[in-house]
Structures are given as C-alpha cells and as structure tokens.
Structure 1
Amino acid sequence: MIALFKLNQIMAKKLTKEQLETLNRILQDYSTDFKQDKEHPTKRVDILLNAICGGGLFLIFNFLKEVDISELSSIQTNLIIISGVGFMLSILMNYFALETSLFQINTEEKLFNDVANTLKDQGDGWREKFLKKEEEATEEVHRLYYIKSRLYNTSKLTMTLSVILLGIFFVKYVLN
C-alpha cells in the first residue's frame, strides 16, 4: 500500500491535474477495498472451518482406533469414509481459496500499477486507454473473486455435509 502512495507522489510531478485526480480516485477506491478485504469475516470462517474439519477427522481417527472395523456394517463404514474424505476435501478447498485470495491481492496490485502507468501517457486518447485498462483490471479481479467465493462456498458445503454424515454415523452406531 505504501508503494502505491509513493507511486502517486512520483507520478504527481508528471501528470496533469485531471490525470492526478483520476489516480487519486483509484488510490482511494483501492485502499478502501483493501481495508474491507482485510477486515472481511471470511478470515474467521477459515479458522473455524479448518477447526471443525480437523475436529471431525480427530473424532474419526480416534473412533477407528477404539473400534474393530469388522464390527461396523457396510453403511456405517461408507458413512465414516465419506465423512472423512469430505473433511479432507473441505480443508483442501479452503487452502485453495486462501491461495486464490493471495493471488487476487497480488494481481490487483499488478493491475493497478498497469492502470497507473497508462496515466503517464500525455498524448491524445489517454482517457480511453486508461478506461480500457481499468475495465480489464476490474474484470480480472472480479473473475478471481468469483473463483475464491466458489471455493469457499463449496468448502463450507462439503464440511456441512461431512458433519451431517458423521452425525448419522454416530446415531446409527449408538442405535446398534
């Protein structure tokens, strides 16, 4: 973030007033988005989701250490296997969502620099070039955000289904 403000100071000496106002608007938008992303509740959801999945795997492994697997019916075995795999997939998807989030932040910074560099052009048509670059950058960031949100949602859904299946397994086990 500091680098972006330094870029603004350096470029301020070379820009027209209109170009400088445009750059300042982008910086303000970008810093607001960055603060909102930093304070976004998905960070807490990540920790909670991984804790639930880790707890579910811990329950499964400890249960399997105590019980002879041959005593379980095929339905119970399938439930516990599917539940364990679901927990592992949920953790994996959560990890990919986090990596996508980090990639999105790096991409936003790179795209912002590209957009800011179009403002260096003092020739005719600088506004059209700038608007085209800004539109391309916005599309790329939205695409990455869509991928990230799909991964988070799928991860939460998989975790929820795994918890339900594990609950069904324990109910069936207690009733037998």
Structure 2
Amino acid sequence: MKITNIREIEVQAAAGRELLLPKTVEVELEGGIIERYPVEWEQVDTSLLAGPGEFVMEGEIVDDDYPNPLIEQRADPYVLKHTDGYYYFTASVPEYDRIILRRAKTIAGLAAAEEKVIWRKHDQGEMGSHIRAPELHYIDGRWYIYFAAGTAEDKWHIRPYVLECVDENPLTIIEHLCPKSSAAR
C-alpha cells in the first residue's frame, strides 16, 4: 500500500538535555488505514541542543520488506486488520477445497504466519466443490466468512455462502465449532 500522509510529531527537550526521538511514526496508507512505521532519524547536531530554540528533524521511514508475491499459490487474497491489532489473511487455495486463515501482527508477517484450515468442502451436495474467494468480516461481535462454492455434482453451479463464528478468535471457525453456514441472501 502506498503512504499518503505522515503525521508530524512534536518533541520537546530542556536545553542541554539529550533529545529522545520516537522509534516509530504514524502514517496514513491508501484507504485511510493508519499504521506505525519505524523511522531512522538524521544525525542530531548536538550544538543545537545547547541552548533554547526550535529546529526541524527529518527522518526516513523504514519500509517493511514485502515478499512478492506475499503468499505463494493463493488467489483472491483478502486481508483484514482487526481491532485486536492483528492482520487476518484468507484466499482461495489451488485445490478449491477448503478455507484457510493466517494471522500476524504485520502485513509482511503474514507471509511466514502459520496457515490454519478453518473449514473444508462437503463431500456431496451444496458447498461440495470450487470453494473460492473467501472474505473475512467482523460484524456486531461475530466473525463471518463469505465465500463462493459450487455443488459437488456441478462445480459451476456457484452460489454465495457464509460461515459464522461467535468466538473472539476467527481461527476457531472450524466446522464442528461453528457449524452454522447458509446461502447468503
């Protein structure tokens, strides 16, 4: 994502004292997402700190190094940053037979995060084939995964479905824990 704005900060220090600069700054990304990024500050001219005054310090944001592609063999990626501070990732898998979820504290961390299978296709009938394009949402204290699926007998007979979970952690949306699934209306 592209950085659209960097929030300015103001730091005060008494004359003759060491200037303590923050290790991170707040940035705004496309879509209004607010993140904190590490910053490397320019070298401080200590003579400026000897007496009273104001001056501007500049620093360089240390951008996360994202692998490209971020996660191999995953189509239709969907990433959500939840209020718990974690990023959640889900996507279609090459076999189109299950729904997966990853969780990490950073977007870059999703690449190495453990992948959990949270739901598998049915052996027959509805939701039995071509499981794809999952999206994770948190609405009114519940987790929902919306996805598309075909029937086991006709993978192109595709309809939208939803899985629901009331647990705080969406990694528990396993069929036996949160079996409620239905066609989206």
TM-score, reference length from structure 1: 0.26
> Which of the pair has more CA radius of gyration?
1
Greater per-residue strand proportion: 2
Greater per-residue helix proportion: 1
The structure showing larger relative contact order (alpha-carbon pairs under 8 Å, at least 6 residues apart) is: 1
TM-score, reference length from structure 2: 0.25
